[in-house]
């Protein structure tokens, strides 16, 4: 006895299957055709944006602004890496404080350092309360040692 439920395919699925089959046979070859399709020609004719060229001075100004934004972004990124390098202990790198870590070295060491700190915290949270008391006894009341009844 077969428990499969057969559902008829929807019209959308049929259309998708036909479109996929057409693209599978024409797509790679369409890359080598030199003539634009009729749809491309219609879109080109009805384009609302004119094809006027932007003056050289405007293009140069835009490029300079893009370059300035990129320099600022790189500066912020480098500053953040410097802060991160300052937090990672020098002994973890094995290179000493005189050699600057690369960005990828910094990220990898920071990741391992954070994981090690997390493991230490988990281990500390699993210790019984008696290990935290110097005298080895865990007190459940709020009385201090030496307080009389």
What CATH number corresponds to the domain at position 113? 4.10.280.10
Tell me if 69 is assigned to some domain.
Answer: yes
Tell me if 99 is assigned to some domain.
Answer: yes
Domain span at residue 119? 57-127
Write down the pLDDT at residue 143. Answer: 47
Write down the pLDDT at residue 100. Answer: 87
Angle between helices 103-126 and 56-87 (to 10 degrees): 40
Tell me if 93 is assigned to some domain.
Answer: yes
Which tokens hold the place of 136? 């080895």
Tell me if 21 is assigned to some domain.
Answer: no
Tell me if 70 is assigned to some domain.
Answer: yes
Write down the pLDDT at residue 149. Answer: 44
Decide: 140 and 131 in contact? Cβ < 8 Å: no
Write down the pLDDT at residue 91. Answer: 82
CA dihedral (60, 62, 68, 71) in degrees, to 10, reads -90
Tell me if 72 is assigned to some domain.
Answer: yes
Tell me if 138 is assigned to some domain.
Answer: no
Write down the pLDDT at residue 59. Answer: 95
One digit per residue, the tens of pLDDT, for the chain of length 149 reads 555 545 555 555 566 566 556 655 555 545 455 555 556 666 555 666 667 898 999 999 999 999 999 999 999 999 999 999 999 988 887 877 778 899 999 999 999 999 999 999 999 888 776 666 555 555 544 444 444 44
Q: How many domains does the chain have?
A: 1
Write down the pLDDT at residue 79. Answer: 96
Write down the pLDDT at residue 96. Answer: 75
pTM over 0.85: no
Tell me if 40 is assigned to some domain.
Answer: no
């Amino acid at each position: 006895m077969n428990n499969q439920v057969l559902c008829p395919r929807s019209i959308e699925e049929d259309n998708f299957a036909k479109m996929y089959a057409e693209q599978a046979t024409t797509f790679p070859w369409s890359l080598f055709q030199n003539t634009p399709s009729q749809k491309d020609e219609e879109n080109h004719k009805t384009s609302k944006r004119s094809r006027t060229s932007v003056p050289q001075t405007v293009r140069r100004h835009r490029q300079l602004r893009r370059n300035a934004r990129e320099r600022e972004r790189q500066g912020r990124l480098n500053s953040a890496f410097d802060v991160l390098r300052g937090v990672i202990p020098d002994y973890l790198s094995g290179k000493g404080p005189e050699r600057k870590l690369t960005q990828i070295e910094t990220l990898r060491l920071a990741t391992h350092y954070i994981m090690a700190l997390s493991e230490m915290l988990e281990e500390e949270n699993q210790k019984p309360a008696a290990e935290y008391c110097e005298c080895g006894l865990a007190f459940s009341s709020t009385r201090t040692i030496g307080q009389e009844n």
